[in-house]
Amino acid sequence: MQPFDPETDEPPIRAAALAPGLYIVATPIGNLGDLSPRAAATLAGVGLIAAEDSRVTAKLLHHIGARVPMLAYHDHSDDRVRQTLIARALAGPVALVSDAGTPLISDPGFKLVREARAAGVNIVTIPGPCAAIAALTLAGLPTDRFLFAGFLPAKAGARATAIAELATVRATLVLYESGPRLAASLTALAAGLGDRAAAISREISKRFEESVTGSLSELAARYAEAPPRGEIVITIAPPAPPAAADAETIDTALIAALATGSVKTAVATVTAALGLPRAMVYARALQLRDGDGGE
Ligand code: SAM
């Protein structure tokens, strides 16, 4: 897509007529063609843009031929900046953007939205690109349950603790990472989670986009040899389901539990310990109590 040239081109975007409010606008994560028409019309139609880095957002505004005042905003910005933005959003339309992707997702905005909501500001989201969601569509891993965990801590101890917390989560894991830290993070993930299947999605929507799949240890070895450039998302398969307990294990556990408690208590204990359906354990407990081995 050619950038907008104010000397020769008609402004390609018609500014939206917007009600007062805070407009959360997702912007491209690489390919400018991914800016939605609604996002562009919103950016052109607001009276002020709260931007993570005004130099980055200035390029996007130039691309759509819009000129809009900007105010730098981070979650650690002075409280007065937030109050200014909230006052402006009560009186007219204000946009929040980050450098790339969806604001608030590993990016500034959470505190602003929380306080703006409390102040009665109309909050509107203009959905669009998000690297975590884009990576999930590329990885070939289950998407019915996923946990987005942002960036792992940089220091080894804190990183190991964070990984240990993720180890029992029964969902696909999604992490952001940088090239220089990728191999060390993959090694730590293999140690803390087991050698699960994973995907490394790099430079999504850009010229050198690629997604490489393999086990965590295979990927760690690959990227230790050649640290990758660019922006990266790691997706990791959920843990394998626990192996189903065999009949002998169930009987041994039930006999021990029945020796010291009621059928109800024994069933509850064994159901919880072995992760089995209660009805099945209950039926077997009655057989064992009544001396009917079920053979
Ligand atoms: N808010 C953004 C979003 O919606 O994806 C994420 C912002 S976070 C500060 C930046 C991280 O997102 C990068 O370090 C990288 O892990 C990931 N990321 C952003 N753009 C990407 C791209 N084009 N390809 C792969 N990962 C990307």
Tell me whether residue 4 is in a domain.
no
pTM score over 0.85: no
What pLDDT, on the 0 to 100 scale, is given for residue 124?
98
> Is residue 10 one of the residues assigned to a domain?
no
Domain end marker among 129, 164, 190: 129
> What does the pLDDT read at residue 275?
75
Burial of 8 by CB count in 10 Å (0-12 exposed, 13-18 middle, 19+ buried)?
A: exposed
Per-residue pLDDT, 293: 60
Q: Judging by beta carbons within 10 Å of its beta carbon (0-12, 13-18, 19+), is residue 12 exposed, middle or buried?
A: middle
Q: Please report where in the chains the tokens 């603790």 appear, as a residue.
A: 161
- Output phi, psi for 18, to 5 deg: -120, 145
Looking at residue 241, its pLDDT comes to 80
Final residue of a structural domain among 110, 129, 148? 129
44 and 110 share a domain? yes
State how far the alpha carbon of 282 is from the alpha carbons of 38, 97, 244, 245, 266, in Å.
57, 56, 17, 15, 9
- Cα–Cα separations (whole angstroms), residue 202 to 21, 31, 49: 35, 13, 29
Residues 200 and 112 in one domain: no
In a domain, 2, yes or no: no
- Looking at residue 295, what is its pLDDT? 47
Please name the residue whose Cα sits nearest to atom 19 of ligand 1: 131
Please answer whether residues 198 and 213 qualify as being in contact, where contact means their C-beta atoms are separated by less than 8 angstroms.
Answer: yes
User: Which CATH number characterizes residue 201's domain?
Assistant: 3.30.950.10
The whole-number pLDDT of residue 126 equals: 98
Domain match, 33 and 57 both: yes
In this structure, the answer to whether residues 142 and 124 fall within a common structural domain is: no
Identify the CATH number of the domain in which residue 60 sits: 3.40.1010.10
Pocket test for ligand 1, best of 25, 34, 176, 203 (most atoms within 8 A of CB): 176
CB 52 within 8 A of CB 97: yes
Determine, yes or no, domain membership for 218: yes
Q: Which residue range(s) make up the domain with 150?
A: 132-236
Residue 214 shares a structural domain with residue 253: no
**Are the CB atoms for 274 and 250 separated by under 8 Å?**
yes
Q: Indicate if 206 and 281 belong to the same structural domain.
A: no
How many angstroms separate the CA atoms of 163 and 153, rounded? 10
Whether 13 maps to a domain, the answer reads: no
Atom nearest to 101 CA in ligand 1? 4
Residue 103 CA: nearest ligand 1 atom is 1
Which of 129, 158, 174 is the last residue before a domain boundary? 129
Give the count of domains, the chain. 3
Regarding whether 26 and 104 lie in a shared domain, the answer is yes
Give the integer Cα–Cα distance in Å for 36 and 249.
57
**Claim to verify: residue 227 and residue 260 sit in the same structural domain:** no
Q: What is the pLDDT along the chain (295 residues), one digit of tens a residue?
A: 566 666 666 556 789 999 999 999 999 999 999 999 999 999 999 999 999 999 999 999 999 999 999 999 998 999 999 999 999 999 999 999 999 999 999 999 999 999 999 999 999 999 999 999 999 999 999 999 999 999 999 999 999 999 999 999 999 999 999 999 999 999 999 999 999 999 999 999 999 999 999 999 999 999 999 999 999 999 999 998 877 778 889 999 999 999 999 999 999 898 888 877 888 889 999 999 988 765 4
Distance 132 CA to ligand 1 centre (A): 7
Q: Which residues line ligand 1 (CB under 6 A)?
A: 29-30, 98, 100-102, 105-107, 130-132, 176-178, 201-206, 231-233
Give the residue carrying structure tokens 């491209």.
28
Residue 190 forms part of a structural domain: yes
pLDDT of 1: 56
One-letter amino acid of 191? A
Mark whether 81 and 154 lie in a shared domain: no
> Is 16 within the bounds of a domain?
no
Helix axes 247-260, 278-289, angle to 10 degrees: 60
Please check whether residue 15 lies inside any domain of the structure.
no
